[in-house]
Chains A and B, each alone.
Chain A
Amino acid sequence: MNRVTEKHLSRFQMALAKIKGNRLAQACLILLACLYLGAIFADVLSAYRYDDEDRNYSYCPPMMVRIFDKNGRLTRPYVPGVYFNFDENHKRVYHSDPFKKYPIKIFHKGYKYKLFGLIPCQRHLFGVDAPGRFYLWGADSRGRDLYSRILYGARISLSIGLIGVVISFSIGLLVGGVAGYYGGKVDNILMRLCEMFMMIPGFYLMLALMVVVPANFNSLQIYLSIVVILSFIGWASLARVIRGMSISLREREYVLAAKAMGLSDLRIILRHILPHTMSYSIVAITLSIPGYILGESALSLIGLGIQDPVPSWGNLLSEAMGIVRIKFAPWILLPGLFIFLTVICFNVIGDALRDCLDPTLETERK
């Protein structure tokens, strides 16, 4: 009699199996993983500190790594030295100096940092000895290495989405769960509150709130205020959907059974109602992360977000606001490419997850 039927694949395992079949989503997942790893190991991967500037290299173009010396012989990879003169428009024009070469050293000893904030370390993945400077992706107006700055900027731009989503989804799930579970007056009050937030266009609300933030905040404080403001705006739409779901979930018999076992309302909401909204929430979370990344970028772009010299993809891009700069130094648009890639990746993965987790969509397709 005590026969237990064979183990079924869990929902999560099924989703994973389906993602394996989706090449595009897989590629995006790998790309995202690379970006996040880049952000985590920014210290090691970067060649210079994000605020290490050298005005002699203002808008220095990306340097090509060379493996042939001036006589055409194969040597270890090096970058040539550069010098500049001014053209008729008093614009700097950089030339490579064939007589100076700076070999690229793997695990080069560069500036000091603490790995994960703990381990003192000085090695970097690559670098060249002073007085040479190596700009893999070019330099900005103050001669700071764009490659290093993009890596450091990824820390802010990529983490803001995750942290923001965690905050806004905790609020959204709880408010939606409570509103749907209790119904009546509680529901009414909470939902009208949600509508008040949804009524104001997000970007303007964000701007208005950002203005309240004191100007003397340091970058960490600004970062935190951005996260709080973004999640403050984001929770309402989720709360509405979760509320609708929990209205139907509270009628399930296991909720009655849990009540009959004397569990508290909060516990029933957390244990027996919200887990059933997970397949929706996971998709919604993935699809809303780009919103936070773009929100931060937009704020930083117009100068209300992260302040120089601390880089974020948004404020790196603010250098590219001007046609002349883009024309003569197109590489400063690179952070935009990274924003674009990240947003696309999250969207593709979100779509793939929806295909996996939403059974209704699947039957429609077949």
Chain B
Amino acid sequence: MLYSVDQFPTVMASTKPSRTSTARSAEARPALRLADALIYLGMGILFGIILVKSEVVSWFRIQEMFRFQAIHMYGIIGSAVVVAGASVALLRRMGATTIRGEPISISDKPFDRGLNQLAGGTVFGLGWGLLGACPGPIYALVGAGITPVAVALLSAMAGAWAYGHLKPYLPH
């Protein structure tokens, strides 16, 4: 199940009801709480704004990256990795929990021979170079008014669908 849900680090917050709230948790655990939905929506909005304002969504900036002609994209991804890595390390050291007191744990992703990462990554890179947008920017570009990218979004969904059906026949 872990493998099928997703392959990047699966973060599991314990869903066990606490000892004192078994009765309440049975009904107070809907598929989605409104407060959570607002957090997801708000963070998505912020992410979209950042991607457009920093020009990560720009086909030109992706070309600049693949031609190694500016620090811009490397600086963004690199500093994001450093900040994310330091923050997660700090959370682990502090033994931090979510705001609801659920434990935060990041399990390592399943790793077989790495063939799917290499082959899939290369296929992804080909698409990234042609389209000039990875999945986050695809959504943001549609919102930014580059409406033909909606076709790319449908194509990307078709690609995910095709992978789902071809998975048993592909090397992993």
Instruction: Answer yes or no: do A and B interact.
Output: no
Contact residues of A with B, CB < 8 Å?
Answer: none
Contact residues of B with A, CB < 8 Å?
Answer: none
